[in-house]
Amino acid sequence: MSNISSVDIFICDLPTVRPHKLAMTTITSQAIVVGVIKDNDGLTGISEVATIGGASYGESTVEAIKANIDNYITPHLIGQNPVYFSRIMDTVAKSVRGNFFAKSLIETALIDLAAKQREVPAYELFGGKIHDSLPLAWTLASGDTKRDIEEAKEMLHQKRHNIFKLKIGSGDPDTNVRHVGEIIKAVGDESRITVDINQAWDEYTALKQIKALEEMGVSMIEQPLPTWNYEGMARLTERFDVSILADEAATSLHDTYRIIKERAGDAIALKPAKHGGILETKKIAGIAEAAGFGLYGGTMIESTLGNAIAASVYSTISEFKFGTEIFGPLLYKDKLTLEDIEVKDFEIQIPDDVGFGVTLDQEKLAHYKR
């Protein structure tokens, strides 16, 4: 097996098919980072992480990811054997604190390279797949109720999605909850509805609005309170029957352990980038499972490459009580890989090709990189 000869990090901007409105930002173009690691035999491992709204969603920005990899992580990689990705990441962890997105980008490129050296799908390096396909939610977030309803009906018609997540953190809570009611009235019989507040409410707003959402039949409430409010999340979890999902708050293994211990939620949104890679994602899935927490296969809205990485690790996890939302590629006007994602009967199909099953389109990379 051949050792690592180079590490290259590219920042790209990909335009979306429509504005995607969250509490803290509206996405019209997504900043993503692509990692390319080569070995001495000329094989290439590739990976992607996506960030949302500069530094408004989370602490990791694309510029910081690139700078910290180039300066502090790459020196640990050159000359190493990628098959020992676990040992390499253990060494990196001892000298680089935090930087979960950067670590995820590197670890997954190492895994892609190691899998290509062995000519196996990447999931064979962390347990093998359990699922051939997984339920796939779509986020209705155009900012317009009528447009959201039309979009939902079209997705149902195409058998693309029958789980819809509504972004309701921006603007007046009463108006937003009425918007949820209208969508449930229009498509609630054929679909399951969840909401994501992206930390925007205080506890008093949450008490009033979650009661109304629960009565409407919403099946999951995602990150209603700011990340720091563990106690408030625990009180909401205790009070309501509807599931309270920790997303932005559930980042590192240690933060997630605290959520589980304090019951500051009863479900966890997994995302390889926010946890620092696939190995950490599997550990988090394990502690959540041990505590009886439900799992959700989350997304940072990656394009085809990052999405294939999430699909690969989620395929090895036994149960997603709330399904997955790895729809990212469907929100973009274009892609950086030769392959697209495949959706059949409301489920994303897990790619089985070598590595993460995707190849970089060099022309597209050259076009979209900064």
- With CB atoms as reference, the residue minimizing the distance to ligand MUC is 139
Query: Exposed, middle or buried, 241 (CB in 10 Å: 0-12/13-18/19+)?
Result: exposed
- In one-letter notation, the amino acid at residue 295 is L
Closest CB to ligand MUC among residues 3, 25:
25
Residues in contact with ligand MUC, counted by CB under 6 A, come to a total of 10
- Residue 44 forms beta bridges with which residues? 38
Residue 196 in the binding site for Mg ion (CB under 5 A): yes
Indicate which single residue of 48, 148, 280, 325 sits in contact with ligand MUC (rule: CB under 6 A).
325
- The minimum distance between CB 73 and Mg ion, in angstroms, equals 27
- The minimum distance between CB 331 and ligand MUC, in angstroms, equals 8
Residue 247 in the binding site for ligand MUC (CB under 6 A): yes
d(CA 223, CA 197): 6
Residue 48 in the binding site for Mg ion (CB under 5 A): no
- The minimum distance between CB 4 and Mg ion, in angstroms, equals 34
The residues, any chain, with a CB within 8 Å of residue 243's CB and separated by 6 or more, are 219, 220, 221, 266, 267, 294, 321, 322
Helix (H, G, I), strand (E, B) or coil at 9: strand
Closest CB to ligand MUC among residues 121, 135:
135
d(CA 313, CA 107): 13
- The minimum distance between CB 152 and Mg ion, in angstroms, equals 19
Closest CB to ligand MUC among residues 151, 247:
247
- With CB atoms as reference, the residue minimizing the distance to Mg ion is 247
Residue 302 in the binding site for Mg ion (CB under 5 A): no
- Residue 67 forms beta bridges with which residues? none
Residues in contact with Mg ion, counted by CB under 5 A, come to a total of 3
Q: How far apart are the first and last CA of the chain?
A: 33
Count the Cβ atoms, other than its own, within 10 Å of residue 92: 22
**Element holding 45 (H helix, E strand):** strand 44-51
- The minimum distance between CB 198 and ligand MUC, in angstroms, equals 5
Per-position x/- string for 137-176, each x denoting binding to Mg ion as judged by CB under 5 A, each - no binding? ----------------------------------------
The catalytic position among 116, 129, 165, 167 is 167
- The minimum distance between CB 66 and Mg ion, in angstroms, equals 24
Parallel, antiparallel or unpaired: strands 44-51 and 26-39: antiparallel
Pick one of Mg ion, ligand MUC, none as the site partner of residue 325 (Cβ within 5 to 8 A by kind).
ligand MUC
Window 212 to 271, contacts with Mg ion (CB under 5 A)? 222, 247
DSSP, residue by residue, 22-40: -SS-EEEEEEEEEEEEEET
Window 48 to 87, contacts with ligand MUC (CB under 6 A)? 52
- The minimum distance between CB 75 and ligand MUC, in angstroms, equals 32
Q: Spell out a b/e string for 60-84, using b for 16 or more CB atoms within 10 Å of the CB, else e.
A: bbbebbbebbeeebbebbeebbbbe
How remote is the C-alpha of 370 from its chain's centroid?
23
Per-position x/- string for 274-313, each x denoting binding to ligand MUC as judged by CB under 6 A, each - no binding? ------------------------xx-x------------
d(CA 148, CA 165): 11
Closest CB to ligand MUC among residues 198, 337:
198
Residue 282 is a catalytic residue? no
Window 171 to 230, contacts with ligand MUC (CB under 6 A)? 196, 198
Nearest to 79 by CA among 147, 3, 165: 3
How remote is the C-alpha of 217 from its chain's centroid?
25
* Residues annotated catalytic, as ranges: 167
Binding site for ligand MUC (CB under 6 A): 52, 139, 141, 196, 198, 247, 298-299, 301, 325
Binding site for Mg ion (CB under 5 A): 196, 222, 247
